[in-house]
Amino acid sequence: MARVLFVAFWVWYAASGVVFLRGPGGFDSIWPLSLSLIWWLVLLFRAELQAWGRAVPLPIWLKFLIVGLFFSDVVMGNLAVSFKGDLHPNLALSSFLWLGAYGGVVLAWWLLAHLYPFTPWQVFFIYGFKGVIIEQDFMLSTMLWKGDWFSALVAAPFLVVVYGSAVAPMFVILQKELPNPGRRVGWMAIGLSIVVTMAGFYAGAFVWFRLVEVLFGLKIPGAG
């Protein structure tokens, strides 16, 4: 049954991708859709990446943070918005401004990794589902409320891959170095991970935005 659902999801995602490519965004949709390719490349070269990870002489928590920020802030953050910089037109500055939010997410997953033995695919779908819930101020919930079921169905698998590919690679690359807690990953673990990572995102964003404003005088749009 799990295999059938897995295949069905990727068929759904492929159909969603066709709709996006034929829509108003056109060519720009290639970049966020390419996140699925990056995720599969990480899985394909997992042995080489894991060997590289073990060879880097840094504490595991620091490697986790670096790998997590690279895939969430640099890779996903830029590809998902087609290199437009959603907080600032300068991509480097936009990535800098997102450090707090994604840093909070990575640290949240670091804590969760010590509580439950999440697999990379579990992290991929859990955080992907979290993305479906919160994206653009609960955009999908609003679509469903307004009866726009088609747009919601098209966007949902797309958001799962965007969010999932942002955090799951660190669980692939550092899988052999992460702790192996004895607890079982059940519904409580899934619910807790959604709440904790959501709290990490907003808390990290709040603290970092205020710090950037105080130290550099940069006012982040929509940050209060």
The phi-psi region of residue 217 (left if phi > 0; otherwise alpha if psi is between -120 and 50; otherwise beta) is left
* pTM for the structure as a whole: 0.92
Q: List, as own/partner pairs, every contact residues 93-97 make where C-beta atoms lie below 8 angstroms and the sequence separation is at least 24, other chains included.
A: 96/212, 97/208, 97/209, 97/212, 97/218, 97/220
What would the pLDDT profile of 3-35 be if each residue is shown by its tens digit?
899 999 999 999 999 998 887 767 778 888 999
What is 159-206 written as a DSSP string? HHHHHHHHHHHHHHHTTTTS---SS---HHHHHHHHHHHHHHHHHHHH
For the chain, the structural domain boundaries read 2-216
70-92 mean pLDDT: 88
- Read off the pLDDT of residues 141-193 as tens digits, 9 standing for 90 and up: 788 788 888 888 988 999 999 999 999 999 999 999 999 888 889 999 999 99
- Give the pLDDT confidence score for residue 221 in this predicted structure: 61
> Could you give the C-alpha distances from 221 to 64, 76, 88, 199, 224, in angstroms and in order?
29, 20, 9, 20, 8
b/e string for 180-203 if b means 16 or more Cβ within 10 A? Answer: eeeeebeeebbeebbebbbebbeb
Of the candidates 3, 39, 206, 51, the residue with the CA atom closest to the CA atom of residue 123:
39
- Which of 76-90, 98-112, 119-133, 174-188 is the least confident region? 76-90
Amino acid residing at 187:
W
Confidence class of residue 127 from pLDDT cuts 50, 70 and 90?
A: very high
